[in-house]
Chain A
């Protein structure tokens, strides 16, 4: 029982960011209870903030926990992990239901509990089962996107409405999900830890021996610049195909041009994601300290340059969308380019956030990340409005770049005394578990 509780607790507190958000969420929930009725919504937002990392990380986390052979030798370990896993939907559904009881006392709260428990269960189980490799991860995200788009078609909307309003059906979904998973999980077959970075490094057999390649190999685990370009291009193609398919299936776009445009608006999000290189190089910068002969400031600039190269390479596919949009003529290519610029500026901001995060999650790191995430989200959902106001887009881009510049200064200051005993490279332990050679 202690093991079950520990696994359950771990899923809410394993990552530092989880603990932070859990704390913030708890404060907001408490404030929500104390405030008069409109303020109780704050509690709802607080619960979302507290549980979001658990919803999107605990499946992967549990797979990491279950995989090591040392863990597999512990008696009844699978039962304990399963028990801890079941606690997650129970806790989340109960927390939301209790809050909903104070917000809307007349609603059917048993049904709400079942809905949340079923949703969280499906999310958690699918994560655990699918996120075992690069393909599975892509597939999981595709399913997630499809599920998010599902209410767009009448048939799926009706089906969801039918299931969601029937306690019996929801209970069946819940029971079947867990029973099916339990049978699969408890049969004792060895599990592999997630290998979500397994695509990195393809085609490195012909890696050329040069200093830039060596630097890239140590910073990204892959000396091939072509690999980064190819990954970026493939990501765009993948997003265009998947979102295009969804737009076609749910009838939100009809002509090929419309379908392409519909998908392109989403695909430019890769421009923001491309800034992730800043986070990667920071953690691996230790490898170059003795090798490159650079001082800390120069090493920062080298890492910054490599992160920018990575950003441009990864986002290159989105640049190609601009001439295609111009050729199709469905929208003004200038407006499209302007919205792409917002994404790329967000990418730059993300890059500098990664470069400055050398002391763990300090308050300024959390606040900056939240500000960027919220700002990026708002800019992304108001694309159609912003497209008609290019001066506003320009102002947003300038504001984001100014923020990025501020983060750069913080980063440069912090790197003067970067401590690689704190900012540790990725642990090879997980890698060894992945490759038990």
Chain B
């Protein structure tokens, strides 16, 4: 069995008395593209930064390739590419200078790849960073994270300022990176449709807890909306396990459930004497249902 790229065990983080992350356990294996979802303040950035060793855990552990994140050795750091939420570009430099200085800090650097991507993404490298728009700066941040061919790419809200064309180009680049199944990508985004397009796993954070984690297909199969149609008045409390949200109106009811399967529908139909229509949800709807 191959070693997990990232392994978090019962990870917790608090600032003074404020608990930000609680009992997070997760694995990232090679070939994974993990989308991290959560409302503002759910703990996405904190989780990603702790995983990369920027911040010590308050409880539990987190390791990259078996090394504790807080004391990552040089060789492991060289295998990570990171795009932070707030860019770390030097305003007085031009894009070319910024890339060159960044390259100077890495053992290997694929300038050819960067030049190609810069051209494809139309990044004006000859202008000073301070003169660039938010989207252009974000493109440069992404370029900086790709130049050394990282085995783990962590992107914290990389799509926020990109236009639709740039987003498409960027997402196809992500798929290219993970095509050989030796690398992994973790990225958080609020643009759920984009995340759905490329992620094969999803982590949903809610108030510092991992509300759901697993393969995207499994998530979409297990979280559904059920439309119940009965002959008589339905009870206010339907007693359905894993209910996210329910609305009962006379002899009809709409219920969102997690952990759904055919058996659930069959037992429900026989217990309540209703007809059930199952509506699959897309990721955005699932996210909204989970946060109702």
Q: Chain A: residues with CB nearer than 8 A to chain B?
A: 200-202, 204-205, 207, 209-211, 213-215, 217-218, 221-223, 286-296, 417, 419-422, 425, 427-429, 431-432, 435, 437
Contacts and interface: CB of A to CB of B under 8 A. Distances in A.
Using C-beta atoms within 8 Å of the partner chain, give the interface range for chain B: 35 or more
B28 interface: no
B54 A421 contact: yes
DSSP class of A's interface residues: helix, strand, loop or mixed? loop
Nearest to B136: A437
B46 interface: yes
A293 B132 contact: no
B49 A218 contact: no
A294 B71 CA distance: 9
What 10 pairs across the A-B complex have the smallest Cβ distances?
A201-B92, A293-B74, A214-B101, A209-B100, A421-B55, A420-B54, A214-B104, A291-B105, A435-B130, A419-B55
A419 B56 contact: yes
10 contacts: A201-B92, A210-B104, A217-B101, A221-B90, A289-B77, A292-B105, A420-B54, A432-B134, A437-B131, A437-B133
Contacts of A428: 86-87
Interface in B83-122: 86-88, 90-94, 97-98, 100-106
Contacts of A296: 70-71
A421 B73 CA distance: 20
B80 A290 contact: yes
A217 B106 contact: no
Contact of B88 (A204, A218, A294): A218
A305 to B, nearest CB: 16
A204 B92 contact: yes
A202 B130 CA distance: 13
Contacts of A295: 71-73
B105 A437 contact: no
Contacts of A207: 93, 97, 101
B132 A437 contact: yes
A293 B77 contact: yes
B88 A287 contact: yes
Given A290-B80, A435-B130, A221 B101 contact: no
B88 A211 contact: no
Interface in B50-91: 50, 52-56, 70-75, 77-78, 80, 82, 86-88, 90-91
B80 A437 contact: no
B101 A293 contact: no
Nearest to B133: A437
Contacts of B46: 421
Contacts of A217: 90, 93, 98, 101
Contacts of B102: 214, 291
B125 to A, nearest CB: 13
Contact of B91 (A202, A422, A435): A435
Contacts of A204: 92-93, 97
Contacts of B134: 432
Contacts of A289: 52-54, 77
Given A202-B92, A419-B56, 14 more contacts: A200-B92, A201-B92, A204-B92, A207-B93, A207-B97, A213-B104, A287-B88, A421-B15, A421-B49, A425-B88, A428-B87, A435-B91, A435-B130, A437-B132
Nearest to B89: A428
User: Which of B56, B75, B103 gathers most chain A CB within 10 Å?
Assistant: B56
Contacts of A287: 88
User: Which of A202, A287, A291, A427 gathers most chain B CB within 10 Å?
Assistant: A291
Nearest to A206: B97
Contacts of B49: 420-421
A193 to B, nearest CB: 13
B91 A201 contact: yes
A51 B102 CA distance: 44
A435 B128 CA distance: 11
A209 B103 contact: yes
A209 B54 contact: no
Contacts of B86: 425, 427-429
A221 B130 contact: no
B263 to A, nearest CB: 44
A290 B87 contact: no
A428 to B, nearest CB: 5
A221 B91 contact: yes
Nearest to B100: A209
A154 B11 CA distance: 70
Nearest to A210: B104
Contacts of B94: 205
Nearest to B88: A287
A147 B75 CA distance: 58
B105 A211 contact: yes
Contacts of B98: 217
Contact of B104 (A209, A221, A419): A209
A144 to B, nearest CB: 28
Contacts of A420: 49, 54-55
B74 A294 contact: yes
A343 to B, nearest CB: 29
Nearest to A294: B74
A421 B97 CA distance: 28
A222 B92 contact: yes
